[in-house]
C-alpha cells in the first residue's frame, strides 16, 4: 500500500512514466510499488529505475549477491517492506534458505563464506569507523555494482519507510509469510532469469556529469551515467520542494552525522529548526527524519508537511532529496576503503 500520495497506475500511465513502467515490467517482472511511488515526478522515477536496473539487475555480479546486499541493507535500516521484497527475490532465484536466514537475522547460518562476508560488510555500512569497511569482500571490478546497489537501497529504504506499508505481501501474519513469499517468488522468477542488455535504461534521461561524491561509479560507464542522471533528477526535485535554507541545514547535519542518530541529537535538531516559520519548520523536520532517522517518520510529520505543501510532487521531492543526501554520505564512507 502506498500512503499519502496518489501514484500513477500502470494502466493510466502516459509519456515518460509509461515508457519507464514498460521497461520495469519487462525486466523486473511487475511495476511494483517502490517505483510507482516515484511517479508524481516522472524524471525522478526514470532516474531511480535507471540506477536500480544498471546497478542491480545487470552486470558481472550475480543477481543473488546483489539481492543479498539489498536485503541486508534493508534489515540494517529496519525497512520490513524491503526485507520482504528482496527475500522474495532470493526465493525466486532458488535461494529459499538464504532468504530465510536473512529474514530472521540468522546470519551465522550462512554457509557460503563470500556471501557471509558481504552480509557483514553491508550491515556495517552505517558505521564509518568499522574495521569491516576497510577491506571490501568483492573485487574492484564488482565494486560499482555492489556499492551502487548499497547506496540505492539506503535511499530506497528511506522512501519505503515513509510512503509504503509494512510488507508487499497481501497479508502480514507471520505464520503465512513463508507461503506467500513462495507464491510471490513465482511471479518474478521468469523476469529474473531473462537476459538483459547493459545500458538499456540509459535512454530515459539525457547524459549529465557525475558528481564527485559518486566517483565510486566511474569504473562502470552505465552505472556512472545512471547515477549522474538520478542525482540530477533528485537535485531538481529538492530545489522545487525545499527552501534553500532547509537544504543547507540538512547538509550541515549530515556533515556531522556518523551513521547513528540518538534521541539527544534529534532533540538538538528539533531545537535548531525552531527558528524557521511553521511551514519551513515542517519541511525541515520531515527532511531531517528522512535523512537521519527514517524509521521514526510518522503520520504526524507527514501531515504537518502536507498542511502547507499538499502537492504529491512536493512530498515525494522532499523525501527523495533527503533520502539520497543520506545515501550519498554513506557512499563516501565506503569510498574511504580500498576501492
Could you state, in chain order, the average pLDDT of each consecutive group of 10 residues for the chain (339 residues)? 97 98 96 98 98 98 98 96 95 94 95 96 95 92 97 98 90 66 82 92 98 97 98 98 96 92 74 92 96 91 96 98 98 73
Class of domain 30-207+217-222: mainly alpha
CB 39 within 8 A of CB 12: no
CA distances from 165 to 8, 42, 105 (A): 18, 22, 21
Sequence-ordered list of residues with C-beta below 8 angstroms from that of 103, at least 6 positions apart, any chain: 71, 83, 84, 87
Among 9, 12, 41, residue whose Cα is nearest residue 205 = 41
Instruction: Determine the Cα–Cα distance for residues 267 and 79; give it in Å rounded to an integer.
Output: 23
Instruction: Determine the Cα–Cα distance for residues 149 and 188; give it in Å rounded to an integer.
Output: 19
Instruction: Give residue 339's pLDDT.
Output: 43
Cα 186 from chain centroid (whole Å): 24
Catalytic sites, residue numbers = 82
Task: Calculate the CA dihedral of residues 250, 254, 259, 264 and round it to 10 degrees.
Answer: -60
Instruction: Give residue 261's pLDDT.
Output: 77
Q: Which residue has the cell 528522512?
A: 290
Instruction: Give residue 236's pLDDT.
Output: 98
Sequence-ordered list of residues with C-beta below 8 angstroms from that of 135, at least 6 positions apart, any chain: 337, 338
Domain ranges of the chain: 30-207+217-222, 235-335
Q: List b or e across 89-118, with b for residues whose CB sees 16 or more CB atoms inside 10 angstroms.
A: bbbbbebbebbbbbbeeeeeebeeeebbbb
CA distances from 106 to 110, 113, 120, 167 (A): 8, 14, 12, 20
Q: Where are the alpha helices (DSSP H) in 52-142?
A: 63-76, 80-92, 96-103, 113-123
Instruction: Determine the Cα–Cα distance for residues 37 and 35; give it in Å rounded to an integer.
Output: 5
CB neighbour class for 208 (10 Å; exposed up to 12, middle 13-18, buried from 19): middle
Instruction: Determine the Cα–Cα distance for residues 319 and 155; give it in Å rounded to an integer.
Output: 9
pTM for the whole structure: 0.95
Amino acid at each position: 500500500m502506498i500512503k499519502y500520495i496518489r501514484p500513477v497506475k500502470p494502466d493510466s500511465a502516459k509519456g515518460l512514466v509509461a515508457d519507464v513502467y514498460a521497461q520495469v515490467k519487462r525486466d523486473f517482472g511487475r511495476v511494483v510499488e517502490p517505483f510507482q511511488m516515484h511517479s508524481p515526478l516522472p524524471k525522478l522515477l526514470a532516474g531511480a529505475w535507471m540506477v536500480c536496473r544498471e546497478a542491480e539487475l545487470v552486470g558481472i555480479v550475480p543477481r543473488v549477491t546483489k539481492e543479498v546486499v539489498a536485503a541486508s541493507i534493508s534489515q540494517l535500516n529496519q525497512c520490513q517492506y524491503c526485507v520482504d521484497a528482496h527475500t522474495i527475490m532470493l526465493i525466486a532465484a532458488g535461494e529459499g534458505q538464504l532468504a530465510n536466514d536473512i529474514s530472521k537475522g540468522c546470519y551465522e547460518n550462512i554457509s557460503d563464506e563470500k556471501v557471509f562476508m558481504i552480509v557483514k560488510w553491508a550491515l556495517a555500512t552505517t558505521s564509518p569507523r568499522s574495521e569491516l569497511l576497510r577491506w571490501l569482500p568483492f573485487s574492484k571490478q564488482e565494486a560499482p555494482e555492489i556499492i551502487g546497489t548499497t547506496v540505492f537501497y539506503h535511499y530506497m529504504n528511506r522512501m519505503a519507510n515513509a510512503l509504503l506499508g509494512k510488507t508487499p505481501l497481501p497479508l502480514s501474519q507471520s505464520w503465512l509469510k513463508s507461503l506467500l513469499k513462495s507464491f510471490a517468488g513465482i511471479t518474478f522468477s521468469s523476469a529474473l532469469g531473462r537476459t538483459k542488455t547493459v545500458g538499456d535504461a540509459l535512454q530515459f534521461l539525457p547524459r549529465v556529469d557525475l558528481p564527485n561524491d559518486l566517483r565510486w561509479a566511474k569504473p562502470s560507464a552505465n552505472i556512472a551515467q545512471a547515477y549522474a542522471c538520478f542525482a540530477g533528477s533528485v537535485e531538481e526535485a529538492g530545489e522545487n520542494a525545499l527552501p534553500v535554507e532547509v537544504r543547507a541545514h540538512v547538509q550541515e547535519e549530515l556533515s556531522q552525522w556518523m551513521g547513528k542518530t540518538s534521541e539527544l541529537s534529534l532533540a538538538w535538531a528539533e531545537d535548531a529548526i525552531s527558528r524557521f516559520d511553521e511551514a519551513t519548520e515542517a519541511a525541515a523536520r520531515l527532511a531531517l527524519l528522512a535523512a537521519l532517522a527514517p524509521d521514526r517518520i510518522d503520520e504526524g510529520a507527514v501531515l504537518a508537511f502536507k498542511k502547507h505543501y499538499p502537492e504529491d510532487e512536493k512530498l515525494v521531492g522532499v523525501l527523495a532529496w533527503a533520502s539520497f543526501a543520506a545515501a550519498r554520505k554513506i557512499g563516501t564512507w565506503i569510498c574511504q576503503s580500498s576501492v
